[in-house]
Chain A
Amino acid sequence: LLAAVRSGEPDAAAALHDRLRPVVERAIRRLLGRGDRDHEDLAQQAMIEIVTTIDRFRGDCPLDGWASTVAAHVVYNHIRRRTTERRIFESVRLDDDVPASTRSLGADVSARSVLRRVLAHLDAIDEAKSWAYLLHDVCGYDLREVAEITGVSVAAAQSRLVRGRRELLERLGADAELAPMLGNANQPGGP
């Protein structure tokens, strides 16, 4: 399949789509949620980006991981170009259907409140630092992939990540309303 894509054979289009579309979908949904209006465009744009940049894939990492990084890069650039809405995790902010795993907190409403306040803090800190934190700590991309997605060096990505964590932690500690919500967790020996 890779050889066919590299040589530009049109017959490989369907196979390539079916092979990598789920990977692309997963990457986009993690960053934008399921209901983003640009979802389909971004997915197709990511697939085309994969075709045009296939020569950069040298086989030193899984193809899925590389395709996911390409898709995240497309999303990253897309969100940065948004003028009215450039926020990541829109579905978390707007979706009333809170993910089931968050219900372990005990109350759906409480969980949504915590997430929205955390995202508000992320919006308040430097965008590059919040992206580094979200891509690395939340979405699970490694530093090299974060660097590729955001178009910076690995050292710069690492610096942004460290500073993003520190700033977010300071903001969480200074948020008097958020403290009771995280109270149990913040108490030594708590749940």
Chain B
Amino acid sequence: VTTDPLDHVTRLLRDAVADAGDVDALPPSRDAAVSRIKDALRARATARRRRRVVTLLAVAAAVAAVVGGSVLAARRTDRSDSSVAAVATGHDLGRVVVATEGVTALRAGRTQSLGQDARLAEGTELRTAGTSEAHLDFDSGTRVTLGGGGRVRLVEQSQSKRFALEAGSFFAKVSKLAVDERFVVATPDAEVEVRGTEFRVTIVAGDAACAGGSPTRLEVSEGVVVVRHAGSEVRVVGGERWPTCAPPFAPKQVGVVATTSGSTAAPTERIAMTPRRVLSTPPASASRSPEASSRLAEQNDLFDEAMRLRRSGDLVGAEARLDRLLASYPTGPLAESAAVERMRLLAASSRARGAGAARDYLRHHPEGFARAEAEAMAAGTQ
């Protein structure tokens, strides 16, 4: 019993549909119904098998794609490793800008021809045949040329650039290096380290009478190069060569490259370098040994320091360095220059002392390049 008409009619409707009759009795069309259900089940089984096949194919395709992609990636990596020899390390890697016929790169035991703009990764060995050349550019502006018959290994190509020159001629024009950067070229018996300079290192047939038979020859065009050899370290400034006992390359000989085996390559203009100034060859007794090179470095240091002190206004200190240089190396290659600078230094503070220094200079260097200046100073006219 309810007072809600909606409830009332709902109950009426519910009662009307409640008597569904005998639903448990099997209908006369049972066989037909079962037959249709069988068809539906068969269709379901077929669809199920089809889905399974499609799934298997999809999985197989996915596996094939993954495997194929891995193989392609591996091949691509291998190709880039072997032929281009380029590895993205984030460091400034040398880029091949010129590679004539016969230039090859050896990496991971494989020798491959180099293409234009290929970047050489650490560990690559660069080889040039008899008349070929390879030019490398670095983003920093540094340029390297390996002459014919050359063989150089890029030992380290990070902030430190280290090359191992095993044969031939290696020319480098190195941009100014940052504090944490280095540029080193190692030869079989020496190590050349530069700090923003232009130089050439060549492996030649060693001369037993020169630098203990060292096959390394260095010519510096600009800047300062440090040579470490036989336990000593020598600074070679622009215009100098090392060892000093080795004959300088005459202009017509510049670019003639000799390999460690002694074979001679054809002249080349690309690696030609004309030193702007070559110091006069010191006495043989003082220059034909590593010790002589070491003394030359000390003379350079004393002279450089004296000039630096003079520029900073420390005249006493500058005079002391020059006096020490002249006392220690009275016949050294910097003796005349040191005497002239001492003369000028003393004259600036005392005319009498300047005149005395001028007379000393004229006594030791009667035909020196500053003779006229010294004579005037000695006469008290300057």
Contact = CB atoms under 8 A, between A and B. Distances in A.
B37 A89 contact: no
Chain A contact surface mostly: helix
Contact of B37 (A7, A17, A26): A17
Interface in B229-245: none
Nearest to A134: B13
Interface stretch (B16-24, B275-283, B362-370): B16-24
The B interface is mostly helix, strand or loop, or mixed, namely helix
Interface string A94-126: 000011111001000001001100100000000
Given A22-B24, A51-B37, A165-B6, 20 more contacts: A5-B41, A10-B41, A10-B45, A25-B27, A26-B20, A34-B20, A40-B29, A43-B27, A44-B37, A47-B36, A89-B16, A99-B16, A101-B18, A115-B12, A134-B13, A172-B9, A182-B8, A185-B3, A190-B3, A191-B1
B313 interface: no
A127 interface: no
A178 B26 CA distance: 41
Interface in A30-71: 30-31, 33-34, 40, 43-44, 47-48, 51-52
Contact of B14 (A7, A34, A52, A138): A138
The winner among B3, B15, B24, B45 for most chain A CB atoms within 10 A is B15
A25 B20 contact: yes
Contacts of B9: 114, 118, 168, 172, 182
Contact of B3 (A14, A43, A139, A186): A186
Contacts of B23: 22-23, 25-26, 29
Nearest to B48: A8
Interface in B14-59: 14-21, 23-24, 26-27, 29-30, 32-38, 40-48
Interface string A1-19: 0000101111011101110
Contacts of A14: 34, 37
Task: Classify chain B's interface size.
Answer: 35 or more
Contacts of B37: 13-14, 16-17, 44, 47-48, 51
A32 to B, nearest CB: 10
Nearest to B19: A99
Given A34-B21, A48-B36, A13 B12 contact: no
A142 interface: no
B5 interface: yes
B46 A8 contact: yes
B33 A44 contact: yes
A59 B24 CA distance: 24
Contact of A29 (B21, B35, B43): B21
